[in-house]
Amino acid sequence: QVQLGESGGGLVQAGDSLSLSCAASGRTFSAYVKACWFRQAPGKEREFVAAIRWSGGTVAYADRVKGRFSISRDNAKNTWYLQMNSLKPEDTAVYYCAVDLTSTSWPPRSTGMDYWGKGTLVTVSS
C-alpha cells in the first residue's frame, strides 16, 4: 500500500508562482514507476498535467502547461514536485498527485494510476 500526501496549494494572483510537493510512503519505488500530477477544475473532468519517470527522469507535460510548469523528483525522499510559474486563472483546480506502478502508457493516463493523493486546491485570481 502506498500513501501519497500533497502540500503547497493556496491562493495566488495571476502571474505568480507556486510549488506543490507529493510525498510517498509505504514502499520503495522501482525504476518503472511514473510519478504524476493531474488536476480537476470545477465542473470539468480530471486532466493530465505532468509526469516523470522515476528512473531516468524523462518528463511529459500537457500542452496547456508546457513552458510554465516543471516536474521534478527526489528519489531519496520519495517525493516529487510541481513548480508552477506564470499561473493563470484557468489553472485553478484541485491538483492530485498519483503514481503509476505498472502500466506502459506514456504519457500516463488517469485510468492507469495505482494510487492517488487526496488533492490540494490551487486558486489563481485574476
pLDDT band at 29 (very low <50, low <70, confident <90, very high): confident
Q: 3, 7, 5, 51: which is closest to 27 by C-alpha? A: 3
Asked if residues 20 and 26 have their Cβ atoms less than 8 Å apart, the reply is no
Longest dimension (CA), the chain: 41
Q: Which three cell numbers stand for residue 1?
A: 500500500
d(CA 56, CA 43): 36
- Write out pLDDT tens, residues 75-115: 899 999 999 999 999 999 999 999 998 888 888 999 989 99
- Write out pLDDT tens, residues 33-70: 899 999 999 999 999 999 999 988 899 999 999 999 99
